[in-house]
């Protein structure tokens, strides 16, 4: 084995030494998440071969019920987080209510989208898992809604797993962002992208442009601005949109860019969920030197959640691009208001 190889577990343990009074529980939780990710990755990789793509209710040759991949991922992450005794509650995109885990003394809760990019699952396009870890703040052994309705600023760790041409886990504990690629030959995540920073030279925007007609005027005008010819500002920018938030954001993190999911008249709060899509991604983007807002001057991480599956418009990526789109939105919202 390459002597310079740093595995995810080595890295987590080394970081643990930076916090001599920490208990190591957060490190264990991150290891649990990486283990579940490997199991999900195994199924994602053979998804075209086994009968796992259809709707629930199907049976396989052993007459066992076949789960859809997103349900399978949900179950794997829930069971990985339930065994350790460190996590007392989970809020998942797949469950209407939060799941309470009976582990007296457990001090963390997790929010997650176990398999994001559902429309891409069946067509072999990159998908991902998104997660946030918070400390339990309520009194008593069991978790309450108060634990889940914390602002994104209270996250102690957040990250994502990208099931793409290779599988990566990218996470932050508030001290920069690091990326690990799964080496399938040894079944181990290895440090491949240390200290990720969004490049200053960003010239890509990512948005479902098919919704253009429904966007607020400021967003429309910004998109037109992206398409103009202007050499000094590297315009026109390139448009890249996969429709999997993890894949779109990962590309923009490495290559530079802006990801937008704006409001529309029919969906004034946008589509993406604050607790397990926007907050963890905003945390990662800020830790990588970028910016994340709702387009109206409000930092995503400072939005006060009021419900588990709350949605918010989201603009995240290179600092200057988020500022640019916000100034367009501000300019045209005053025009729209007249
Ligand atoms: P999902 O949680 O149902 O998978 O939806 C979230 C996904 C994101 O990954 C992606 O950014 C967005 O939906 C794409 O939506 P659209 O198809 O409207 O562009
Ligand atoms: Mg999702």
Is residue 191 within 8 Å of 168, Cβ to Cβ?
A: no
Q: What is the pLDDT of residue 51?
A: 56
Closest C-alpha to ligand 1, atom 12: 243
Is residue 258 within 8 Å of 204, Cβ to Cβ?
A: yes
Q: What is the pLDDT of residue 294?
A: 98
Closest approach atom of ligand 1 to CA 244: 9
CB 138 less than 6 A from any atom of ligand 1: no
Q: What is the mean pLDDT of residues 206-224?
A: 97
Residue to mutate (ligand 1; options 160, 162, 272; most atoms within 8 A of CB): 272
Q: In order of start, what are the domains of the chain with their CATH numbers?
A: 3-193 (3.30.540.10), 204-337 (3.40.190.80)
- Please count the other Cβ atoms lying within 10 Å of the Cβ belonging to residue 225: 17
Is residue 154 within 8 Å of 148, Cβ to Cβ?
A: no
Q: How many angstroms does the Cα of residue 259 sit away from the middle of ligand 2?
A: 15
**d(Cα 293, Cα 192) in Å, to the nearest integer?**
29
Q: What would the two tokens of residue 260 be?
A: 């937008």
Q: Is the pLDDT of residue 103 over 70?
A: yes
% of the chain exceeding 70 in pLDDT: 90
Q: Is the pLDDT of residue 47 over 90?
A: no
DSSP 22: S
Environment of ion ligand 2 (residues, CB < 5 A) = 113, 116
Q: What would the two tokens of residue 113 be?
A: 């989208």
Residue in 174, 208, 179, 164 with CA at minimum distance from that of residue 34: 179
Q: What is the pLDDT of residues 116-158, one digit of tens each?
A: 987 888 788 999 999 999 999 999 889 999 999 999 999 999 9
CB 244 less than 6 A from any atom of ligand 1: yes
Q: Is the pLDDT of residue 189 over 60?
A: yes
Residue to mutate (ligand 1; options 125, 205, 271; most atoms within 8 A of CB): 271
CB 241 less than 6 A from any atom of ligand 1: no
Q: Report residue 20's pLDDT band, with 50, 70 and 90 as the boundaries.
A: low
Beta bridge partners, 205, equal: 239, 258
Closest C-alpha to ligand 1, atom 15: 243
% of the chain exceeding 90 in pLDDT: 76
Query: Cα torsion for 90, 94, 97, 102, to the nearest 10°?
Result: -30
Q: What would the two tokens of residue 210 be?
A: 């098919």
**d(Cα 185, Cα 123) in Å, to the nearest integer?**
25
């Amino acid at each position: 084995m390459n002597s310079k190889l740093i595995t995810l577990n080595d890295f987590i343990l080394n970081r643990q030494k930076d916090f001599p009074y920490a208990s190591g529980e957060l490190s264990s939780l991150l290891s649990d998440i990486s283990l579940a990710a490997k199991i999900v990755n195994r199924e994602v990789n053979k998804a075209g071969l086994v009968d796992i793509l259809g709707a629930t209710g199907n049976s396989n040759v052993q007459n066992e019920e076949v789960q859809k991949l997103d349900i399978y991922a949900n179950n794997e992450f829930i069971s990985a987080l339930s065994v350790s005794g460190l996590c007392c509650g989970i809020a998942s995109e797949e469950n209407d209510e939060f799941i309470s885990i009976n582990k007296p003394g457990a001090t963390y809760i997790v929010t997650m989208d176990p398999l994001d990019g559902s429309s891409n699952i069946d067509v072999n396009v990159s998908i991902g898992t998104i997660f946030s870890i918070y400390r339990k703040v309520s009194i008593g052994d069991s978790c309450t809604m108060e634990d889940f309705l914390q602002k994104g600023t209270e996250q102690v760790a957040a990250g994502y797993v990208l099931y793409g041409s290779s599988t990566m886990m990218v996470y932050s504990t508030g001290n920069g962002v690091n990326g690990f690629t799964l080496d399938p030959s040894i079944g181990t995540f290895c440090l491949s992208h240390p200290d990720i920073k969004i490049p200053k030279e960003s010239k890509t925007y990512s948005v479902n442009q098919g919704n253009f007609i429904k966007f607020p005027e400021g967003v429309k005008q910004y998109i037109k601005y992206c398409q103009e010819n202007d050499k000094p500002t590297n315009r026109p920018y390139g448009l890249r949109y996969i429709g999997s938030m993890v894949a779109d954001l990962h590309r923009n993190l490495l290559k530079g860019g802006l990801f937008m999911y704006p409001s529309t008249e029919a969906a004034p709060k946008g589509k993406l969920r604050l607790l397990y899509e926007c907050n963890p991604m905003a945390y990662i983007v800020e830790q990588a030197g970028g910016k994340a807002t709702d387009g109206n001057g409000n930092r995503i991480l400072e939005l006060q959640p009021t419900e588990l599956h709350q949605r918010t418009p989201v603009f995240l990526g290179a600092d200057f691009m988020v500022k640019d789109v916000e100034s367009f939105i501000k300019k045209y919202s005053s025009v729209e208001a007249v």
